[in-house]
């Protein structure tokens, strides 16, 4: 006998709503049908935008489905709502306010302003929205970019903020034979037109109180972290202290160090640690950006962390911060995955 399940969605601002989920239906599909605005994008388990924490009841991931969810996240109760099928009545905690998903993704056209190689494998792509276009986003969210002349799309988090619009700055890793990488290397030039869509993602700056922020970035995972830092800098009133731990494999692969230094001059409460896996000299730390975090950095019970980079770095950082006493619900992460 099949049973309709009652699912409660509890948002970070204390608002809760309930819905019925039919047998074989995902929580996200039921929410969309009920016009409940949840953050989502792909609806197939490949983007993590619809992640939520199962706090009561039982819900398994759809049989045979693949996802970006790490084992440690699943064991901690995290579920992707697009694949989550309730086995019992259950409750999910969402790490954002009830109206966060009310901003719908829109399409816009932009012109290429500049293409600058800032490291052997990283390009800074600066775009300017067309005069009749607009596309908003929260610091940390991402946009989809259609590679000109193809049907391929790639996802990138702006290093700029919505206050910088219509200018959008992206940091893009160059792959050996990537569709976007080849376009950037061989074709892209100022005034080229490019199509964007967004915003997407549940990784965005949330904390509004002046509590310590720990931000860990690997490679081009620095982009959304820079956007968050700039947003904190522009906030009125007392500002949060921020510790940025950023790393790449070698000194030659580091980038945006001048941008980080400038932000430190403008924002005295910002400290940075720069790490490389090998070849460290001078002020560079030897190791990865996770290793640079110590117990002394977690000196406040409500400290929050924002992590962006490769999956292994995210998992290691989450585990270390938890062991050092940070609340799991205060750790927010975005994995940068290779394009298919």
Please state, for a pLDDT cut of 90, what percent of the chain lies above it: 78
Confidence band, pLDDT 50/70/90 cuts, at residue 202: confident
Instruction: Flag whether pLDDT at 334 surpasses 50.
Output: yes
Cα separation of 328 and 206, whole Å? 15
- Does residue 205 belong to any structural domain of this protein? no
Confidence tier at 48 by pLDDT (50, 70, 90): confident
Please tell me the predicted confidence (pLDDT) of residue 183: 98
Q: Is the domain of 325 the same as that of 238?
A: yes
pLDDT at site 234: 92
> What is the per-residue pLDDT for 2?
66
pLDDT, average across residues 151-171 = 96
Judgement on whether residues 96 and 35 belong to the same structural domain of the protein: yes
Domain holding 170, by residue range, is 104-200
Domain total in the chain: 3
Is residue 340 domain-resident? Answer: no
d(CA 83, CA 261): 42
Residues 52 and 109 in one domain: no
Q: What is the pLDDT of residue 47?
A: 78
Structure-token pair, residue 145: 């970019």
pLDDT digits (tens, 9 = 90+) for 87-133: 999 999 998 888 888 778 899 999 999 999 999 999 999 999 999 89
CATH number of residue 285's parent domain: 3.40.50.80
Classify residue 79: in a domain, yes or no: yes
Are 75 and 127 members of one domain? no
Higher pLDDT, 230 or 39: 230
pLDDT at 321 over 90: yes
Domain annotation covers residue 170: yes
Tell me whether residue 206 is in a domain: no
Residue 66 vs residues 48, 70, 161, 165: alpha-carbon distances, Å: 12, 11, 32, 36
Is residue 220 domain-shared with residue 174, that is, in the same domain?
A: no
In a domain, 77, yes or no: yes
Check whether residue 230 and residue 137 sit in a common domain: no
Mean pLDDT of 311-320: 94
Domain match, 172 and 274 both: no
For the chain, give the mean pLDDT. 93
CATH number, residue 172:
2.40.30.10
Q: Is residue 262 part of a domain?
A: yes
The answer to whether residues 162 and 236 belong to one domain is no
The winner for highest mean pLDDT among 11-15, 200-204, 227-231 is: 227-231
Q: Which residue has the higher pLDDT, 182 or 62?
A: 182
What pTM was computed for the model? 0.85
CA triple 16-22-28, angle to 5 deg: 50
Q: Stretch 61-81: mean pLDDT, rounded?
A: 85
DSSP letter at 71? H
Inside any domain, residue 257: yes
Q: What is the CATH number of the domain that holds 51?
A: 3.10.20.30
Q: What whole-number distance in Å separates Cα of residue 138 and Cα of residue 231?
A: 9
| Res. 290 pLDDT band, cuts 50 70 90 | very high
pLDDT value of residue 45: 84
Q: Are residues 180 and 223 in the same domain?
A: no
230 and 319 in a single domain? The answer is yes
168 and 241 within one domain: no
Q: Which of 42, 66, 100 is the last residue of a domain?
A: 100
Q: Residue 61: enclosing H or E segment and its boundaries? A: strand 59-61
Give the mean model confidence (pLDDT) for residues 262-281.
Answer: 96
21 plus 119 within the same structural domain: no
User: Each residue of 237-252: pLDDT tens digit?
Assistant: 888 899 999 999 999 9
For 18-43, how does the pLDDT look when each residue is reduced to its tens digit (9 = 90+)?
A: 999 999 999 999 999 999 989 888 78
The percent of residues above 70 in pLDDT, for the chain, comes to 98
Of 79, 100, 121, the residue that ends a domain is 100
Last residue of a domain, one of 65, 100, 135: 100
- Write down the residue that tokens 């940025």 correspond to: 244
**Residue 1's pLDDT is what?**
47
């Amino acid at each position: 006998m099949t049973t309709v399940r009652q699912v409660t969605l509890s948002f970070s601002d204390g608002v809760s709503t309930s819905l019925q989920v039919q047998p074989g239906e995902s929580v996200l599909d039921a929410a969309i049908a009920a016009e409940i605005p949840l953050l989502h994008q792909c609806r197939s388990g490949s983007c993590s935008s619809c992640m939520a924490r199962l706090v009561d009841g039982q819900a398994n991931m759809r049989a045979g489905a693949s996802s970006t969810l790490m084992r440690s996240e699943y064991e901690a109760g995290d579920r992707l709502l697009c694949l989550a099928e309730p086995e019992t009545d259950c409750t999910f905690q969402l790490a954002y306010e009830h109206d966060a998903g009310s901003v719908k993704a829109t399409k816009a056209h932009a012109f290429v302003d500049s293409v600058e190689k800032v490291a052997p494998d990283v390009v800074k792509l600066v775009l300017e929205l067309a005069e009749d276009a607009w596309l908003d986003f929260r610091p940390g969210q991402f946009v989809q970019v259609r590679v000109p002349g193809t049907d391929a799309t790639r996802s990138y988090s702006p290093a700029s903020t919505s206050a910088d619009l219509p200018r959008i700055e992206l940091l893009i890793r160059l792959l050996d034979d990537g569709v976007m990488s080849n376009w950037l290397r061989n074709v892209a030039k100022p005034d080229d037109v490019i199509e964007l869509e967004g915003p997407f993602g549940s990784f965005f700056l949330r904390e509004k109180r002046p509590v310590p922020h720990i931000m860990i970035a690997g490679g081009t995972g620095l982009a959304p972290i820079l956007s968050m830092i700039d947003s904190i800098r522009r906030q009125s009133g007392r500002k949060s202290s921020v510790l940025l731990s950023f790393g790449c494999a070698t000194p030659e692969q580091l980038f945006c160090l001048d941008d980080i230094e400038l932000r430190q001059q403008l924002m005295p409460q910002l400290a940075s640690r720069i790490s490389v896996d090998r070849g460290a000299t001078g002020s560079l730390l030897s190791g990865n950006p996770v290793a640079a975090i110590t117990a002394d950095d977690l000196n406040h019970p409500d400290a929050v962390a924002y992590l962006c980079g490769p999956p292994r770095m995210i998992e290691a950082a989450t585990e270390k911060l938890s062991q050092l006493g940070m609340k799991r619900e205060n750790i927010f992460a975005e994995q940068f995955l290779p394009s298919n």
